[in-house]
Amino acid sequence: MRVLVITNFMPDEAAPQRGRWVRDQVDEVRRRGIEVDLFAFPPGRGEYVPATRRLRALLRRQRFDLVHAHYGLAGWVAQLAGATPLIVTFHGTDVRHHLVGHLSRRLAWRVDLVAGVSRALFEPEDGRPGLPAVPGSAVLPCGPDLSRFGPRSRTEARRELGLDPDTSYLFFPANPARPEKRHDRAAEVAAACGADLLTGGSIEPERMPLWLNAANAVLVTSEYEGFGMAAVEALACDVPVLSTDVGIAPYALRGIDGCLCAPFEAAAWAAVARHHLEAPDPRVDGAARAATLSAAGMAERVIEAYRAVLAEQ
């Protein structure tokens, strides 16, 4: 089987972690004997038409058994270039965005398999519509490469990052500039607890485990999430997670003592956070749950989807 993966999740200086989850999935699929080529192009309005032309030329020169696009607009590039059979995995913003979401819902009826990285993407969330219930739809998360994540000494992590070993830290792992991530909510919780708030956004993927292990707890205060990678990565490090009930969080955090999955309410969140801020080394039993959502496990699901689509051709 030869597969072409198409993505415009490209890292840059401001977001070095962007698209790492797609590359991790590609690596895991390759490890299982599937030949995968990668067609990547930068994000940006002016990139879609040139990418469509380059992809159309590539598809004329080479033969692929299947094409798998990540993100709705990358899916349109594949569809307009004549890619078939075509799977499109939707990741979140491509479904919830007020303009791109409309295009994604139209595309869902034009591909051979529409996939979301969580079931939440097929349902309305925070007043935003989800993907249509196209027959045969699938949930195909990417999942984190858990070989990079695991519990580490909190003291050593802080020392390596140049953080005060005695300060109480909460970690907001997203880019504060993205309004849907609701940095203001995380800041409100930190202020209520008297804790310092660490923020993500431009952290190299290889250093993310340090930031997770350095924190007393991780705050995911988003209005919506397609999947919620940071919560799973934190669980892999046995670090407590407080999250709104978005994306994969209702499954990932269910039944784990010390974690919270609930609509945002500053006082209630602060009460849970204080417990972790007062503990000398707050940890939760999260690694086993995170393992069920790993890149390796999710790659198996993706390969089964490939086989199913090809069997229908």
Q: What is the pLDDT of residue 9?
A: 84
Confirm if 256 and 218 have CB atoms less than 8 A apart.
no
Rounded to whole angstroms, the Cα distance separating 232 from 162 reads 25
Q: Which parts of the chain have pLDDT scores under 70?
A: 12-14
Q: What is the pLDDT of residue 201?
A: 81
Q: What is the pLDDT of residue 292?
A: 94
Is 3.40.225.10 the CATH number for 2-143+294-312? no
**Given this chain, do its domains 2-143+294-312 and 146-291 carry the same CATH topology?**
yes
Beta strand extents in 195-240 (DSSP E only): 196-199, 217-220
Rounded to whole angstroms, the Cα distance separating 246 from 296 reads 23
Burial 48-83 (b: 16+ CB within 10 A, else e): beebbeebbebbeeeebebbbbbbbbbbbbbbbbeb
CATH of segment(s) 146-291:
3.40.50.2000
Domain ranges of the chain: 2-143+294-312, 146-291
Report CA 180 to chain centroid distance, whole Å: 14
The model's pTM: 0.88
Q: What is the pLDDT of residue 221?
A: 98
Q: What is the pLDDT of residue 53?
A: 98
**Average pLDDT of every residue of the chain:** 94
Confirm if 27 and 33 have CB atoms less than 8 A apart.
no
Q: What is the pLDDT of residue 14?
A: 67
Rounded to whole angstroms, the Cα distance separating 170 from 268 reads 15
